[in-house]
């Protein structure tokens, strides 16, 4: 008895190659998306770390540094080291965008970057969906407690269509860590600095969730502090 041998046709080989290529492509897309998420997490961590370090600087000098040292440089107060290396953007190793009032002893700071996952809900939470910072070029940032980020409005409606007055960026309300059993819904300037799990833009009631401990911020470092009048 002779065993029959079945060989692959050219079409079958092409189909197999196509399927393998498709699987490889889908795998690469998935890996690329995860890498973007990882880099965005690093950016959020970096900006919060810089904000905390700048508050330490403020505690010592009663103002903020005029210009942030280049990334990978040390950040010191006198002989005490605050950061062994200023963080850099994880994708291109560049500096984060630092803004001050230009004085040697600045009254505020703002730091900006761009998240690669533009659909990240935090972009809406901090009010940067229409762009933030210089030239409206950024979608994420942190600032000192006495100022807010520079918010930009979306592209205006053409002049031929009646326009409505610009809507101001909603205040970011969160459940503060204090307040006893009831909790307190308060405006925070930098909710991420206080590790607030939920942000309620423009809602001064925080949906009545502040009695639930898991809705409250970890601390009050990012609480809104009105600018002093001199």
Instruction: List pLDDT tens digits, range 83-125.
Output: 989 999 999 999 999 999 989 899 999 999 999 998 999 999 8
pLDDT of 155 strictly over 60 = no
Q: What is the pTM of this model?
A: 0.57
Whose CA is closest to 145, among 87, 230, 229, 228? 228
Mean residue pLDDT across the chain: 82
pLDDT band at 229 (very low <50, low <70, confident <90, very high): very low
Number of other residues whose CB lies within 10 A of the CB of residue 83: 16
Q: What is d(CA 47, CA 112) in angstroms, rounded to the nearest whole number? A: 8
Residue 154's pLDDT band (boundaries 50, 70, 90)? Answer: low
Please, are residues 103 and 66 in contact by the beta-carbon 8 Å criterion? yes
Q: Are 222 and 194 in contact (CB under 8 A)?
A: yes
């Amino acid at each position: 008895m002779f065993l029959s041998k079945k060989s692959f046709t050219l079409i079958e080989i092409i189909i197999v190659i196509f399927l393998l290529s498709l699987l490889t492509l889908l795998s690469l897309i998935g890996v690329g998306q995860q890498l973007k998420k990882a880099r965005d997490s690093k950016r959020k961590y970096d900006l919060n770390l810089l904000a905390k370090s700048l508050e330490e600087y403020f505690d010592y000098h009663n103002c903020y540094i005029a210009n942030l040292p280049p990334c990978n440089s040390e950040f010191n107060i006198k002989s005490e080291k605050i950061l062994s290396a200023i963080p850099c953007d994880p994708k291109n190793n560049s500096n984060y965008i630092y803004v001050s009032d230009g004085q040697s002893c600045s009254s505020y700071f703002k730091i900006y970057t761009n998240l690669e996952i533009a659909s990240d809900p935090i972009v809406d939470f901090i009010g940067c969906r229409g762009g933030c910072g210089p030239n409206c070029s950024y979608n994420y940032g942190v600032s000192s407690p006495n100022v807010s980020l520079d918010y930009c409005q979306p592209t205006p409606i053409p002049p031929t269509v009646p326009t409505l007055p610009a809507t101001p960026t909603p205040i970011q309300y969160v459940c503060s860590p204090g307040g006893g059993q009831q909790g307190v819904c308060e405006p925070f300037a930098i909710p991420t600095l206080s590790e607030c799990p939920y942000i309620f833009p423009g809602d001064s009631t925080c949906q009545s969730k502040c009695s639930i401990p898991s809705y409250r911020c970890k601390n009050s470092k990012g609480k809104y502090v009105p600018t002093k009048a001199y």
